[in-house]
Amino acid sequence: MRRLGPWMPQRLGPQLVMLTTLAMLLAIGGHAAWVLREQSDRLASGLKDHAQALAQNLAVSSAGPLVQLELDRIEDLLMRASSFPDVTDLRLVDPAGRVLSQVKRVPGAQPERVFNSVPTTSSTPPAGEALASVETVDGVDKMVAWAPVVAGTRLGWIRAELSTAELEAARLQAWRTSWYAALIAVLGSWVLVQLFLRRPIEALQNAHGFALQLDHARGRRLEVMSAPLEIEDLQRALDNASVQLEAQRRDLEVTLEKDLRLEADFRVAKQTALERSQFLARMSHEIRTPMNAIIGMTYMALKTPLDARQRNHIDKANRAAQNLLGILNDVLDFSKIEAGKLRVEAVPFRLDDVLQDVVDMLAYRASDKGLEFLLDVGTDVPATLVGDPLRLLQVLANLCSNAIKFTEQGSVVVRVTQLEQDANHITLDIAVRDSGIGLTQEQQQGLFQNYSQAEASTTRIYGGTGLGLAISRALVELMGGRIWVESQPGEGSTFRFECRFGVADNAPEHHGDIPGAIAGPRAWRARESVGAPALAPTPLLEPAASASAIEPVDSLMLVGTRILVVEDNEFNQELAIMVLEADGAVVEIAGDGEQALQRLSCEPGFDAVLMDCQMPVMDGYIATQHIRQRPELAGLLVVALTAEVSEEEHQKILDAGMDDHITKPFDPPAMVAMLAQLINEQRLAKA
């Protein structure tokens, strides 16, 4: 009930008083009107009867005197009759309307004769009928009765005029009574409201006021006033609400504070993480650059005539550097996984290439330990898949490396089988089985957790960061698969993972047959696997001899080529010169992008540019962009040298217009082979 009307007060108390008062007034008014009407009708009819009777009596008794024109006797009659109650005027009128006799009486005074024979309206008889009715005489209501005076003929009329004052007084009295009753009723209702409803209304108003500022109550309690049940309940509910609201507000404040703290913590953590990854990137660069030098220099040293002891030392230094690089890569990968920055790409690749790379990387280690390293690829496994070949390689290399590491004798078998295939996807089961020491159930637990190895002692015996399996698991999961181990102590272990790949529409360009440009120099001898005769098409590789594997062939691959090396680091400049010149290339050096551009414009005729990406003055990306804008340098081969291996970096390299990239620290033969191939292709294309 917003408001019943503009006249209605807004507050409940006055509303109740007003409504009860109105109801009372209506009831009493209605009753009073009815009673009043009844009473006044009764009085009026009584008065009428009285007037008629009086007029009639006078008419009868005045007939005789009138015949004789005994006006004094008529007057006498009228005088006596005038003492009847309510009579104010009596008269005898002749048929012409002349007043023959008239007596007036003012209430409370003596009757008085009036002599006024001139006919007036009030002395004119009505149309021949005896009649009594209320008329207004001189502005006052009177009961007037007419009665004919008859003696044979109609001699005249008696007109009796009676005061309605008593009637009016009775009406007034009734009115007054009604008013008193109404007044008493109103006062009564007011008193009742005050007596019985004041407290409830106060309680309600109190509750109302409380409810209005409940928002700001801050847990203030509402004193529950005694009132009818509903109002008491309402008060309690409000009180409760206030308390709960405050409690919630406090909770909210606490939560908010916590949130704020968390947010701050999160910001700090994020900042820290950012700083850490920046630090790692910087460290990665800073470490890789000297690593590059160490690996490159020891490599070059190994190419010089050395005695056995020297060769042994330098070879070990070279391998230690390689190991260190592996560890560094693991740590970097792991930090990327932790930072959630690791991404897998989906590009078409040949599974065989990946397997070949694994073999390339590890075959010599297996043969060093006298282990068989076998591949067993199902015939139904498609040659070309869509996925991330680098990451797949990383996982496989890790598992195989572990298998070789923990196997003293027997074999390491990589088996690839197809689990299921639909139009677009294929799920492969890839298992790396070794005949090594195996793992107990306990050892298997938490094997793929971060920083864990089967035993702490394992790390001491076999080395390694213990990150490999954790990284593998993260990569497999990123590629939509899962990884687990099946093992019994003493019976070897099988590390398996299922992985989902896309199915390629058409095979990617086939760059690398094993005997191709990169693998070409390495002579691998394949023979039929005795243990797996069913896997006919799968090449079973076995390193012929580890020594010959590293031994480069004598042909100089870069003879007749001119290569500009853009590199700010002096060691790397020197290394590049050494490696490339060793293969017959003419090498020029530029310290940064700007110098490179100058050299290129002064001295045309370079076959390729090896472009370091991060340099002072002008970095490799910008320099390449400039090169690509010069029409005279069209077709110039630009290969990036970079410590970064992320896809992001890869994309950046391609965007800048570089043809390919070589990761630092570079493997000199691989670098040479790659350059040779690229230059050959370029020349063929030009020709």
Catalog residues that contact other proteins under the rule CB under 8 A. Answer: 68-73, 75, 98-101, 112-115, 117
Q: Cα 104 vs. chain centroid, distance in angstroms?
A: 101
Lookup: tokens for 574:
């020197």
Pairing of strands 372-377, 411-421: parallel
Is the separation of the CB atoms in 608 and 563 below 8 Å? Answer: yes
- Using an 8 Å Cβ cutoff, are 96 and 171 in contact? no
Name which of 68 and 304 has its Cβ closer to other proteins: 68
Distance CA 21, CA 190 (A): 8
With both helix axes pointing from N to C terminus, report the angle between 12-67 and 198-212 in degrees, rounded to the nearest 10.
140
Residue 128 C-beta: closest distance to other proteins, Å: 22
CB of 173 to other proteins, least distance (A): 34
Burial of 394 (0-12, 13-18, 19+ CB in 10 A): buried
Q: How many residues comprise the chain?
A: 687
In the complex with other proteins, which residue's Cβ is closer, 89 or 388?
89
Nearest CB to other proteins, comparing residues 98 and 249: 98
C-beta of 35: minimal distance to other proteins in Å? Answer: 43
Query: What amino acid occupies position 428?
Result: L
Output 70 or 141, the one with its CB closest to other proteins: 70
Residue 112 or 251: which CB sits closer to other proteins?
112
> Nearest approach, Cβ of 170 to other proteins (angstroms)?
32
Q: How far is residue 596 CA from its own chain's centroid? A: 53
HEC sequence for 341-388: CCCCCCEEEEHHHHHHHHHHHHHHHHHHCCCEEEEEECCCCCCEEEEC
Please report how close the Cβ of residue 113 comes to other proteins at its closest, in angstroms. 5
Residue 339, classed as helix, strand or coil, is coil
Separation CA 200–CA 358 (nearest Å): 90
**Closer Cβ to other proteins, 76 or 588, answer by number:** 76
**544 CB-near residues (< 8 Å, 6+ apart):** 523, 524, 525
Of the pair 93, 371, the CB lying nearest other proteins is at 93
Q: Would you report the helix, strand and coil content of the chain in percent, each value rounded to 5?
A: 50, 20, 30
CB of 178 to other proteins, least distance (A): 43
Taking the least distance from each CB to other proteins, the nearer of 118 and 195 is: 118
Three-state secondary structure call for residue 407: coil
Strand partners, 590: 566
Angle at 74 between CA 70 and CA 80, to 5 degrees: 145
For other proteins, the closer of residues 159 and 391 by Cβ is 159
d(Cα 576, Cα 668) in Å, to the nearest integer? 8
How far apart (Å, rounded) are the C-alpha atoms in residues 474 and 476? Answer: 6
Residue 371 token pair: 């282990």
- Residue 154: its H or E element: strand 153-163
Taking the least distance from each CB to other proteins, the nearer of 71 and 273 is: 71
Closer Cβ to other proteins, 106 or 256, answer by number: 106
Residue 98 or 220: the one with the smaller Cβ distance to other proteins is 98
348, HSE (Cβ side, Cα atoms, 13 Å):
13
Q: Which is nearer to other proteins, 68 or 153 (CB)?
A: 68
Smallest separation (angstroms) from other proteins to the CB of 115: 4
Other C-beta atoms lying within 10 Å of the C-beta of residue 565? 24
User: What's the min distance (Å) between Cβ of 132 and other proteins?
Assistant: 25
Query: DSSP of 259-312, one letter per residue?
Result: HHHHHHHHHHHHHHHHHHHHHHHHHHHHHHHHHHHHHHHHHHHHHS---HHHHH
Sign of torsion over alpha carbons 34, 40, 46, 48 = negative
- Closest contact distance (angstroms) between CB of 70 and other proteins is 6
Residue number with CB closer to other proteins (72 or 420):
72
Question: Three-state SS string across 63-126, please?
Answer: HHHHHCCCHHHHHHHHHHHCCCCCEEEEEEECCCCCEEEEEECCCCCCCEECCCCCCCHHHCCC
Instruction: Give min distance, CB of 68 to other proteins, in A.
Output: 7
Work out how close the CB of 110 gets to other proteins at its nearest, in angstroms, rounded to a whole number: 10
Q: Are 81 and 148 in contact (CB under 8 A)?
A: no
593 token code pair: 């992008």
Instruction: Find the shortest distance in angstroms from Cβ 102 to other proteins.
Output: 9
- Shortest Cβ distance from residue 71 to other proteins (Å)? 4
- Whose Cβ is closer to other proteins: residue 57's or residue 680's? 57
Q: Name beta bridge partners: 349.
A: 385
CB 156 to other proteins: min, Å: 11
Least Å from the CB of residue 124 to other proteins: 15
Minimum CB–partner distance for residue 112 and other proteins (Å): 6
> Between 66 and 471, whose beta carbon lies closer to other proteins?
66
